[in-house]
Amino acid sequence: MLINKLFDTAIVGGGVAGTSLLFTLARYTDIKNIILFEKYDEVSQLNSNPKANSQTLHVGDIESNYTYEKAQTVKRSSSMVSNYIQNFNEVDKVGFKRDKMLLAVGEEEIAKLKERYVEFQTLYPYLELWDEEFLATFEPKLMEDRKEPILAMGARGQITTVDYKKLSESFVQQALDTDKNIQMRYNEEVLEIKRDEDGCFTIISDTTSFRAKSVVVNAGAYSLLFAQSMGYGKEYAILPIGGSFFFTKEKLLNSKVYTMQNPKLPFAAIHADPDITQGWNTRFGPTAFALPKLERYHELHLKDLVSALNIDKDVTKVYMNLFKDKTIRRYILKNVLEEMPLVGKEVFVHDAQKVIPSLKVKDLKFAEGYGGMRPQIIDKKKQELMLGEAKIEEDGLTFNMTPSPGATSSLAIALKDAQSICEHLNKLFYMEKHESEIQRIKSSLLNISESKSTQIAFA
Ligand X SMILES: Cc1cc2nc3c(=O)[nH]c(=O)nc-3n(C[C@H](O)[C@H](O)[C@H](O)COP(=O)(O)OP(=O)(O)OC[C@H]3O[C@@H](n4cnc5c(N)ncnc54)[C@H](O)[C@@H]3O)c2cc1C
- Residue number with CB closer to ligand X (364 or 411): 411
- Strand residues in 207-286 grouped as ranges (E): 209-217, 236-243, 246-248, 256-259, 271-275, 281-285
Binding segment toward ligand X, per CB under 6 A, in 52-60, 251-259, 352-360, 445-453 = 52-60
* Selected binder of ligand X within 7, 11, 13, 347 (CB under 6 A): 13
**Closer residue to ligand X in complex, CB, 74/349:** 74
Q: Which of 166, 354, 374, 427 binds ligand X (CB under 6 A)?
A: 374
Count CA atoms closer than 13 A to 131's CA, side-chain side. 1
Binders of ligand X in range 130-169 (CB under 6 A)? 164
Q: Which is nearer to ligand X, 58 or 427 (CB)?
A: 58
Given the rule CB under 6 A, which of 7-15, 101-109, 248-256, 300-308 is the region that contacts ligand X?
A: 7-15
222 interacts with ligand X by CB under 6 A: yes
- Using omega within 30 degrees of 0 as the cis cutoff, is the peptide bond preceding 286 cis? yes
- What number of CA atoms fall less than 13 Å from residue 442's CA on the CB side? 3
By the rule CB under 6 A, 404 interacts with ligand X: yes
Phi and psi angles of residue 325, each rounded to the nearest 5 degrees, phi first: -80, 125
Q: Determine which helix (DSSP H) or strand (DSSP E) holds 40, and give its type and residue range.
A: none
Binding to ligand X by residue 29, rule CB under 6 A?
A: no
> Residue from 60, 274, 372, 396 that binds ligand X (CB under 6 A)?
372
Contact (Cβ atoms closer than 8 angstroms) between residue 443 and residue 412: no
Cα first-last separation, the chain = 35
Supply the minimum distance, in Å, between the C-beta of residue 227 and ligand X: 13
Query: Quick one: 300 or 457, whose CB is closer to ligand X?
Result: 300
Q: Does 15 bind ligand X (CB under 6 A)?
A: yes
12 binds ligand X (CB under 6 A): yes
**Contacting ligand X within 189-208 (CB under 6 A):** 189-190
Torsion of CA 404, 409, 415, 416, to 10 degrees: -40
64 part of the interface to ligand X, by CB under 6 A: no
Asked if 310 interacts with ligand X (CB under 6 A), we say: no
Read off the amino acid at residue 358: S
Among 154, 220, 240, 274, contact with ligand X (rule: CB under 6 A): 220
Stretch touching ligand X by CB under 6 A, among 109-117, 306-314, 370-378, 390-398: 370-378
- Cα 202–chain centre separation: 29
> How big is the CA angle at 60 (ends 51 and 127), to the nearest 5 degrees?
115
Based on the shown chain and the rule CB under 6 A, indicate whether residue 37 belongs to the binding site for ligand X. Answer: yes
> Is residue 403 within a helix (H) or strand (E), and if so which, with residue range?
none
The DSSP code for 367 is: -
- Sheet with 364-366, strands from edge to edge, namely 128-130, 150-162, 95-105, 256-259, 271-275, 281-285, 246-248, 364-366
Residue 218 binding ligand X, by CB under 6 A: yes
Nearer to ligand X, 37 or 246 (CB): 37
Q: How far apart are CA 238 and CA 393, in angstroms?
A: 18
170 scored as a contact of ligand X (CB under 6 A): no
Identify which of residues 146 and 391 has a Cβ nearer to ligand X in the complex: 391
By CB under 6 A, residue 83 contacts ligand X: no
> What are the φ/ψ torsions at residue 35 (nearest 5 degrees)?
-125, 140
Q: Provide the pairing of β-strand 3-12 with 209-217.
A: parallel
- Residues whose CB is less than 8 angstroms from the CB of residue 115 and which lie 6 or more positions away in sequence, other chains included: none
Nearer to ligand X among residue 127 and residue 217 (C-beta)? 217
Distance of CA 213 to the CA centre of its chain: 28
Question: Judged by CB under 6 A, how many residues of this single chain contact ligand X?
Answer: 42
Binder among 407, 411, 418, 421 for ligand X (CB under 6 A): 407
Q: Which residues bind ligand X (CB under 6 A)?
A: 12-18, 37-40, 44-48, 52-56, 58, 164, 189-190, 218-220, 222, 243, 286, 371-374, 402-408
